[in-house]
Structure formats: C-alpha cells, structure tokens
Amino acid sequence: MSSSILSEISVDMSQPTLLFSEDGHKVYWLGISHQTAFRCNVYLIHSGEHYILVDPGSPLHTAQVQQRVAQIIEPACITALVLCHQDPDVAASLPAWLELNPDLCIITSPRAHVLLPHYGCADYRYHDIEQHPVFDCGDGHELHFITASHLHSPAAFATWDPCAGFLFSGDIWAALSLDWTLVCQDFASHSQNMNMFHMDYMASNIAARGFVHKIENLPIKAILPQHGSIIPPDMVVDALRYLKNLQCGTDILYPELS
Ligand SMILES: [Fe+2]
Ligand SMILES: [Fe+2]
C-alpha cells in the first residue's frame, strides 16, 4: 500500500487503519472515533524496532489508543512519543504511557519539555528536536523535525517522514467539523473548516509563511494533522497555498498595524 491510494482507504473504527507500508516502514491512523468537531488524530509509525506514537492525546483517549495499539503490538512496547507541543489534547496521556514503559523516549521541543512535568510525569528520556532534528529509526529510515513556532504554540514543530512522504503537522492544517472523512474529499469546503481553527489559533500570516518557506521544497505526498482530515497528494499544493495566504491571529486582531 502506498500513500498514492489514500483516497481509496476505508475506515473500520474497530481497527487501526494502515495508511502506508513499504520497506518495513508502516504508518497507521489509530483514531480517535469520538464524534466531535474537535476530533483528535493519533498516528503510529512502525519502523525497524521502533513503534512511535505521534500526538497520543489526553486521558480521554488513552483506553481507545491503547486498545488500537494492542492490535499491532503490546502497548508497553511503544518506544517513543512525538509530542508536537504541550497542549493537553496532544500530551496529557504522557504519565499513562510512561507508567507502561518508563524507558519511553519523549521526542519534543525545549519549550514543550519545560511544561510537560505539569502533567505529573516523573523524569523521562528526552529527545530534544532542536538539538537533534533527526531521529534515527535504526533501520535506514529517519524522522525529521521542523520547528513551526507560533503555529500555534511557540513550542510547535512538525514531523517529516521521508520514507512515506508524510508530514505530521500537529495543529497546522487542523480542521473543525462534524462532517468528517479520514481523507479530505473537497479542498474548498475543507478550507472553511480549517478557517474555524486557524483564524483564532494561529499567530500571524508571517508565522504561517515562514513555516511554508521551510517545507515547500519537500516531496510531500500527504499532510497528516492532529485534527480533521488527512490532506492527500493532489491537495498538497492547495494546502501550501492556503497557509501562505492565511490571515489569522494578530492580522485579524490588529488590521491597522498589518
Ligand atoms: Fe494545540
Ligand atoms: Fe491540537
């Protein structure tokens, strides 16, 4: 299975959904199935001996995520968590995962790292994405981390998976809607759903354009946000244009100063 057939994938909410599999490298969507406009996506990357959860979510989601993980591997065998920033919908399940595996590696940014102890977690193995912007999966595959400051958190970063061509974008390209499909079907209507999130949450057009400048030459096959739908290959150019043109945050609050 490759990312090019993302649009043909059907979702069985009782199973992990395989999004990519090639050369021993797999990416799954694990949920969440909870019907809400603020739906959270949790992804699992399996590469070599690593099982890496991307944005595992809050205690509201832990039981379902661990159930989905258990259909692939023992939850205690998860080796790392990527926490794209410190928000509770991304990271509040951290103590539950550390309880299962105290050796878990926490991949995050320094500004998120200083706040994570407020979830009550003890010491943990910390991979600093600014000091070490590449994570070696040990099987010839890597994950690359790209800072995305002020989109929306100063701590935010995205994760680039070169093998799959997937960009795990956290809150960037997040969308809010009850009318949801795993893979985006219509970019024009999806833009309205992205506006619902971006106009209030994202800091400014400069922050958005600065991030696009960092990633626009990557061979991105799909964008996998933490909320809303996956953006498939034929809509990636539209998604980059959307972010470049985004008016949000301080652009809207203080138009006279823009
Ligand atoms: Fe957030
Ligand atoms: Fe979020």
Tell me how far apart the alpha carbons of residues 195 and 257 are, in angstroms, rounded to a whole number: 22
**In the chain, what are the domain boundaries?**
14-257
Q: How far is the CA of 139 from the centre of ligand 2 (A)?
A: 30
> Residue 36: its pLDDT value, please?
86
> Residue 84: its pLDDT value, please?
98
Measured distance between the N- and C-terminal CA atoms of the chain, rounded to whole angstroms: 46
Tell me how far apart the alpha carbons of residues 166 and 231 are, in angstroms, rounded to a whole number: 10
> Residue 118: its pLDDT value, please?
96
Stronger pLDDT, 122 or 145, i.e. the higher one:
145
The pLDDT of 1-15, averaged and rounded, is 74
Q: How far is the CA of 40 from the centre of ligand 2 (A)?
A: 7
Q: How far is the CA of 24 from the centre of ligand 1 (A)?
A: 31
> Residue 2: its pLDDT value, please?
45
Q: Inform me whether the pLDDT recorded for 159 exceeds 50.
A: yes
Q: How far is the CA of 207 from the centre of ligand 1 (A)?
A: 15
> Residue 5: its pLDDT value, please?
62
Q: How confident is the model at residue 1 (pLDDT cuts 50, 70, 90)?
A: very low
> Residue 92: its pLDDT value, please?
97
73-120, pLDDT tens digit by residue? Answer: 999 999 999 999 999 999 999 999 999 999 999 999 999 999 999 999
Q: Inform me whether the pLDDT recorded for 25 exceeds 80.
A: yes
What region does 30 belong to: left with phi over 0, alpha with psi -120 to 50, or beta?
A: alpha
Q: How far is the CA of 153 from the centre of ligand 1 (A)?
A: 7
Q: How far is the CA of 91 from the centre of ligand 1 (A)?
A: 10
CATH of domain 14-257: 3.60.15.10
Q: How far is the CA of 174 from the centre of ligand 2 (A)?
A: 8
Q: How far is the CA of 200 from the centre of ligand 1 (A)?
A: 12
> Residue 157: its pLDDT value, please?
98
